């Protein structure tokens, strides 16, 4: 067989095996495609009227793209993709999840190509005896392991995490171009223009999907330090690389660090809406990173979940005792990455890739402590060296078969675990039941289980009473396991009100105490509005003064003294004043305060304009509308502005708006 024929056969076998990995991935995820929207899917997709587009007109697309409020950029590319899903198939979660799976499969192909290029560069620089067949086999194993790994499930079946996978797609394409161009520079050929294109095109696209896309230059630097080490055939190319990384990584890194240090008060204030402080987060995250590493290397799906609020916060270096060892262990990993750069550069690449992938979401910023989807791209850094050393045929040949068998067994284990998780994601009840069984001390999981029992309806009185008792049990559990968690108490009140049962006064007392003194969640304003609705519908039978005290107590809470959370609570007070007190001038004044507290939140200003119009304050309404237009620089609210202009015109002419 000639070398050309061998190469063709190798390519055919590679293509067939890659196709098998893609089909296997589809099959293991298939049960979960029938599942429902969960958690943050609801505010971002289900309750987001602006993605419910009926045409592909520019105004509709622009409004949908700018309808997000996650992150500083709003993630417009991801929001636009949700709108296109809605336009094509309506609000059916199956097709949203299927789109996510398609993106995941494309990302898997991208992982394969990137692995091929990295291993080819590694052969050129460090291991010339590595054969093309070995490179393809290792790349296929890395691709299959990544595609089938159960830790990636939430980036596929949790619809809103398309933000994560879509951002990763563009990062992978940018890194593929970068490695390809760097190989050309090693060979003395042109590649600088391609590096610039990869940066200038794919970094913005990735960041518009999710802000973690801004890490792409840092990932490029990791590849440079570990794999290429600033080597190039031409001196001019080496100078370019030094300048490139100086401008794209070193300078921005210094500026961001200087800003954070000089605005430490702002950074600490951003934690007002969280159940933890900056210090607690910094102490806890090293333990979380080790949790991630353990789950990547040898996953245990009983430890995985949508929520991880049952993981205790670190209160000090020895509370819990694993805190200090975790910090020291991370330091040891960094040292290992540095000392391995010459003898085991893939180890350096992998460790740095993983750690740098967490530099935004697992460090100082006031995000939730744990989320599995944060490992979607960083996981590649662990799987690449892991499967390289399992399948590398040049050393310890006597263990090669054993190592290859271990690699295949791991991939099979990943596939089985993902399939098992996908089964539980096939309907909301099974998902909630599995989550609470695996995380009995999670307040959120107990609350989700209770919510699922609340939604079950039957004509059998005995079953209805059973479902009520189960819902009550899980709400009580969610209240008991976390002294800061208020949603269980809201759930108990609303549950009994819906069933026509008496409210336990102790629930109201405890809720008032927690709303006033405990760190409350970001959705507390929505929960208070639900209570107002319950009272308006004459179901809750609360003393109106007590209900107002709940809202004002929340406003007095130290954790609601600024930001969006306070504005939402303030708006719930306005909602109370309109619907319970019927005091419209007072509600208007409260809405003015809400806008003052959150001037960047256009939805509150729009509500204020509606209040002003209805109450006949047309001149002030016009001034606010002009301000609204100026703030709506991207014309995301063009349709709403048109409606308000019409209402103002009708109000001026004496018609009822």
pLDDT at 652 over 80: no
Q: Length of the chain in residues, anyone?
A: 657
pLDDT at 601 over 70: yes
Stretch among 176-190, 509-523, 628-642 having the lowest mean pLDDT = 628-642
* C-alpha span between 430 and 12 (Å, rounded): 41
More confident residue, 2 or 224: 224
Nearest Cα neighbor of 539 from 572, 496, 600, 591 is 496
Are the beta carbons of 610 and 644 closer than 8 angstroms? yes
> Residue 366, Cβ neighbours under 10 Å: how many?
16
Cis peptide before 24 (omega within 30 of 0): no
pLDDT band with cut points at 50, 70 and 90 for residue 655: low
More confident residue, 24 or 604: 24
Residue recorded with tokens 């940066």: 199
Are the beta carbons of 123 and 227 closer than 8 angstroms? no
pLDDT at 363 over 80: yes
Are the beta carbons of 149 and 418 closer than 8 angstroms? yes
* C-alpha span between 415 and 29 (Å, rounded): 9
* C-alpha span between 357 and 353 (Å, rounded): 6
- Across the range 413-436, mean pLDDT stands at 96
Alpha helix (H) residue ranges in 192-310: 192-209, 216-223, 235-245, 251-262, 264-269, 278-297
From the number of C-beta atoms within 10 Å of its C-beta (0-12, 13-18, 19+), residue 224 rates as buried
Which pLDDT score, from 0 to 100, does residue 61 have?
Answer: 92
pLDDT band with cut points at 50, 70 and 90 for residue 269: confident
Which pLDDT score, from 0 to 100, does residue 172 have?
Answer: 98
- How large a percentage of the chain has pLDDT more than 70? 99
- Across the range 282-290, mean pLDDT stands at 97
More confident residue, 597 or 589: 589
Apex 377 CA angle, 25 and 247, nearest 5: 150
**Cα-Cα-Cα-Cα dihedral sign, residues 139, 142, 144, 146:** negative
pLDDT at 641 over 90: no
* SS3 per residue for 434-449: HHHHHCCCCHHHHHHH
Which pLDDT score, from 0 to 100, does residue 1 have?
Answer: 67
Stretch among 350-364, 367-381, 547-561, 637-651 having the lowest mean pLDDT = 637-651
> Residue 235, Cβ neighbours under 10 Å: how many?
8
SS3 label, residue 495: helix
* 598 Rama class: left (phi>0) / alpha (psi -120 to 50) / beta: beta
β-partners of residue 316 are 319
Which pLDDT score, from 0 to 100, does residue 195 have?
Answer: 97
Mean pLDDT of all residues belonging to the chain: 92
> Residue 351, Cβ neighbours under 10 Å: how many?
23
Which pLDDT score, from 0 to 100, does residue 651 have?
Answer: 72
Model pLDDT for residues 496-540, shown as the tens digit of each residue? 998 889 899 999 999 999 999 988 887 888 999 999 999 998 888
The count of C-alpha atoms lying within 13 angstroms of the C-alpha of 138, restricted to the half-sphere facing its C-beta, is 31
Which pLDDT score, from 0 to 100, does residue 128 have?
Answer: 92
Which pLDDT score, from 0 to 100, does residue 657 have?
Answer: 45
β-partners of residue 312 are none
Which pLDDT score, from 0 to 100, does residue 653 have?
Answer: 64
- How is residue 341 annotated by DSSP? T
pLDDT at 103 over 80: yes
pLDDT band with cut points at 50, 70 and 90 for residue 320: very high
* SS3 per residue for 111-128: HHHHHHHHHHHHHHHCCC
Model pLDDT for residues 449-485, shown as the tens digit of each residue? 999 999 887 778 888 899 999 999 999 999 999 988 9
């Amino acid at each position: 067989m000639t070398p050309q024929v061998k190469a063709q056969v190798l390519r055919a076998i590679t293509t067939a095996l890659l196709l098998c990995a893609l089909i296997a991935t589809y099959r293991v995820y298939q049960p979960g495609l029938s599942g429902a929207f969960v958690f943050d899917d609801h505010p971002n997709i289900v309750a987001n009227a602006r993605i419910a587009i009926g045409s592909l007109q520019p105004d509709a697309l622009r409004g949908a793209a700018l309808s997000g409020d996650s992150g500083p950029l709003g993630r417009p590319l991801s929001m636009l993709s949700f709108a296109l899903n809605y336009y094509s198939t309506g609000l059916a979660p199956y097709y949203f999840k299927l789109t996510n799976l398609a993106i995941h499969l494309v990302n898997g192909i991208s992982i394969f190509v990137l692995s091929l290029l990295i291993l080819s560069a590694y052969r050129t620089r460090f291991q010339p005896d590595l054969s093309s067949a070995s490179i393809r086999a290792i790349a296929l194993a890395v691709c299959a392991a990544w595609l089938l790994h159960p830790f990636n499930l939430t980036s596929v079946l949790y619809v809103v995490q398309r933000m994560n996978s879509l951002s990763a797609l563009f990062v992978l394409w940018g890194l593929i171009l970068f490695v390809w161009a760097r190989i050309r520079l090693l060979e003395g050929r042109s590649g600088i223009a391609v590096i610039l294109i990869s940066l200038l095109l794919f970094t913005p696209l990735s960041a518009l999907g999710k802000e973690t896309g801004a890490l792409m230059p840092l990932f490029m630097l990791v590849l440079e330090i570990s794999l290429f080490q600033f080597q190039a055939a031409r001196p001019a190319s080496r100078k370019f690389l030094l300048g490139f990384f100086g401008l794209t990584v070193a300078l921005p890194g210094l500026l961001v660090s200087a800003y954070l240090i000089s605005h430490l008060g702002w950074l600490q204030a951003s934690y007002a809406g969280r159940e933890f402080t900056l210090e607690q987060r910094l102490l806890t995250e090293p333990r979380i990173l080790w949790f991630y590493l353990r789950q990547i290397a040898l996953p245990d799906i009983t430890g995985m979940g949508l929520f991880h609020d049952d993981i205790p916060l670190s209160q000090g270096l020895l509370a819990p005792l694993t805190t200090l060892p975790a910090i020291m262990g991370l330091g040891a990993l960094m040292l290992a990455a540095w000392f391995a750069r010459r003898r085991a550069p893939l180890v350096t690449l992998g460790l740095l890739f993983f750690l740098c992938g967490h530099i935004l979401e697992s460090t100082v910023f006031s995000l939730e402590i744990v989320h599995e989807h944060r490992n979607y791209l960083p996981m590649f850094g662990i799987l690449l060296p892991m499967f390289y050393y399992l399948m590398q045929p040049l050393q310890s040949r006597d263990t090669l078969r054993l190592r290859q068998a271990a690699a295949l067994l791991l991939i099979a284990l990943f596939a089985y675990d993902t399939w098992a998780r996908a089964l539980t994601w096939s309907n909301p009840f099974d998902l909630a039941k599995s989550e609470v069984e695996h995380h009995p001390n999670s307040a959120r999981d107990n609350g989700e289980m209770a919510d699922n029992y609340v939604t079950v309806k039957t004509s059998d009185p005995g079953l209805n009473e059973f479902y009520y008792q189960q819902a009550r049990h899980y709400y009580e559990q969610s209240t008991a396991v976390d002294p800061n968690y208020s949603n269980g108490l809201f759930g108990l009140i609303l549950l009994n009100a819906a069933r026509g049962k008496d409210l336990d006064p102790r629930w109201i007392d405890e809720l008032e105490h927690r709303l006033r003194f405990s760190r409350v969640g970001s959705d507390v304003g929505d929960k208070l509005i639900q209570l107002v609705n319950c009272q308006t519908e004459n179901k809750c039978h609360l003393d109106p003064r007590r209900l107002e005290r709940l809202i004002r107590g929340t406003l007095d809470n130290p954790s609601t003294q600024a930001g969006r959370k306070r504005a939402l609570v303030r708006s719930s007070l306005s909602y109370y004043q309109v619907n319970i007190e019927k005091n419209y001038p007072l509600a208007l004044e409260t809405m003015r305060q809400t806008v003052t507290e959150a001037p960047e939140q256009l939805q509150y200003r729009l509500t204020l304009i509606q209040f002003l119009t209805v109450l006949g304050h047309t001149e002030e309404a016009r001034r606010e509308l002009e301000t609204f237009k100026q703030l709506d620089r991207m014309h995301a609210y063009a349709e709403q502005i048109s409606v308000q202009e019409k209402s103002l015109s009708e109000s001026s002419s004496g018609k009822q708006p």
